[in-house]
Structure 1
Amino acid sequence: MKYWKALAFLTAILLTGTVVPHSAHAQTPTQVSYGSQNGDVWDLQFRLKAMGYYKEPLDGKFGAATAAAVRKFQQSYGLPADGVAGSSTWKALKKYSLNRQEMDIMAHIIYSEARGEPYKGQVAVGAVVMNRIQSGKFPGNIRDVVFQPGAFTAVDDGQYWLTPNSTAYLAAQDAVRGWDPTYGSLYYFNPDTATSAWIWSRPQTVKIGKHIFAK
């Protein structure tokens, strides 16, 4: 049942492309609380739903269900659980979640880098992206992480622009929800094709499919 609910949610992203209004992607979200109705509430609900905290339909209205989801997120990440999405809550949300446009980027990089890998290996690629965002050693947002020069082969050779399938979106959602089969890795490589001595020097954590993951 959980799988089908997730698939239905992600199918809405794939088919409509309008789950969250464009205004919800402002660089600096406003503080939103019970009674708020604006694009930032859509963004908030989407992020919380992708992480599994918000269970209701996305409607852009900050009601009791949204407040409860915000409190659960705040409790999970050590924030004051006041049910208000202020600056500290938004900062944590942007570090540990993705909005609709960012989920598209995640699905694209997963599909282009790992579409021939087992599902766990696809989630692992997404986990590496999330680990980089959260590490402090890389840019703090997915767009800059993915498009950092030389970071991903699929971006360099143009495969990034292939259309991802629903499995890539499901893997993206699992990575955003915190599944990390890589044990905190920041890198991965194919041992059959890797020529960099530096990447071989990184501490390795696990091999999944054709990829070795490393810190």
Structure 2
Amino acid sequence: MLFKSHKRKIFSMLFIMFLVSTQVVGVFANSYTVLRFGSRGSEVIRLQQELKNRGYFDANTTGYYGPITETAVTNYQRDNRLIIDGIAGRQTKRSLYSQRNTVLKFGSRGSEVVRLQQELKNRGYFHANTTGYYGNITQTAVINFQRDNSLIIDGIAGPQTQGALFSQSATPVVSRGTSRSRSFTEDDVFWLSRIIHAEAQGEPYQGMVAVGNVVLNRVNSSQFPNSIYGVIFEYWGNIPQFSPVEEGTIYNTPGEASVRAAREALNGARPVGNSTYFFNPDKAEGRWIVENNTYVTRIGGHTFYQ
């Protein structure tokens, strides 16, 4: 009887260990469920929501892994140097759900964006409310921070940019020249918004701010007039510096976006840094600008030089 009782205890213990082990394996497997085209369920919803938080997924979270989800995963993999296969496997999910690898870009939402905006505000780059949405103002703030800290200027807060931002050695915005100490009037907004509208109507919003950036750089340079009006209406010989002056479009009423871009530039947005020239290479040759200045970047149809 003692022997049979002992056998029963051993059998019971083994059975309990088996049940526990299968549940642990099940939990482990669920953590690394491979999701691909056609997958459904709560894990897909979680994936879609995280992709949406990072700015990769712009649809409703349906729990169905269709072409929109597959494209979002592919784009995320490309941006994070993962194997690009459109499948959310262990490596992709580990990267996606890891807070320290968060890549924030235009369209991103969530608490990580709030944290980013707050730190940019602490350093003097972000002058709006912390909303948790990565829009034009946040992108401009990131670009300005990247430029001041000799980082790759792409407007994306990746690991390198966030590492510099949250370190103690990052350069504060107050080190940037004297342009922020200037005071501007509504007359300045009036003319700056008109040159932006005339030169950059139909361009990306960032390109509109960039035109304002160029005008203000000229105002702050000893090589150009020291007022917005003076810069806009400057002539070299008989040739106006800005074609809208000759064409008369400088007097057109600007749209809301042009006025907003003017105010953003006046508030310190510098998407093209120290650029003092720009032109559209599809409409003009710009040989003198190209041969005598340094290329900075291209935004929409305009290339910018300093």
TM-score, normalised on structure 1? 0.56
Kindly provide the CA deviation profile for residues 126-176 of structure 1, in whole angstroms up to 9, marking residues without a partner as x: 000110011111111111101002211111111111100111111001101
Letter in 1 for 2:294: P
1:123 alignment partner in structure 2: 209
In structure 2, distance between residues paired with 1:214 and 1:115: 20
**3-state SS of the aligned residue for 1:178?**
coil
Letter in 2 for 1:130: L
1:132 maps to 2:221: no
Cα deviation for residue 196 of structure 1 reads 3.7
1:142 equivalent among 228, 231, 256: 228
**3-state SS of the aligned residue for 1:135?**
coil
In structure 2, distance between residues paired with 1:103 and 1:140: 15
2:258 alignment partner in structure 1: 168
Contact 1:121 1:208 (C-alpha < 8 Å) held by counterparts: yes
In structure 1, distance between residues paired with 2:305 and 2:193: 21
1:203 maps to 2:303: no
Change (3 A) 1:118 1:97: farther
Contact 2:180 2:268 (C-alpha < 8 Å) held by counterparts: no
Change (3 A) 1:123 1:93: closer
TM-score, normalised on structure 2? 0.40
Q: Kindly, what percent of the aligned residue pairs are identical?
A: 36
**3-state SS of the aligned residue for 1:213?**
strand
In structure 1, distance between residues paired with 2:180 and 2:187: 13
In structure 2, distance between residues paired with 1:152 and 1:173: 20
Superposed CA RMSD in Å reads 2.5
1:191 alignment partner in structure 2: 281
Cα deviation for residue 93 of structure 1 reads 8.0
Q: Which has the higher contact order (CA 8 A, sep 6+)?
A: 1
**3-state SS of the aligned residue for 2:220?**
helix
In structure 1, distance between residues paired with 2:213 and 2:179: 16
Which blocks of at least 5 consecutive residues in structure 2 are unaligned? 1-126, 129-173
In structure 2, distance between residues paired with 1:124 and 1:130: 10
Between structure 1 and structure 2, the one with the greater Rg is 2
Which blocks of at least 5 consecutive residues in structure 1 are unaligned? 1-51, 54-75, 79-91
Contact 1:96 1:134 (C-alpha < 8 Å) held by counterparts: no
Moved over 4 A (4+): 92-95
2:304 alignment partner in structure 1: 213
**3-state SS of the aligned residue for 2:192?**
helix
2:197 equivalent among 100, 111, 116: 111
Letter in 2 for 1:179: A
Letter in 2 for 1:111: H
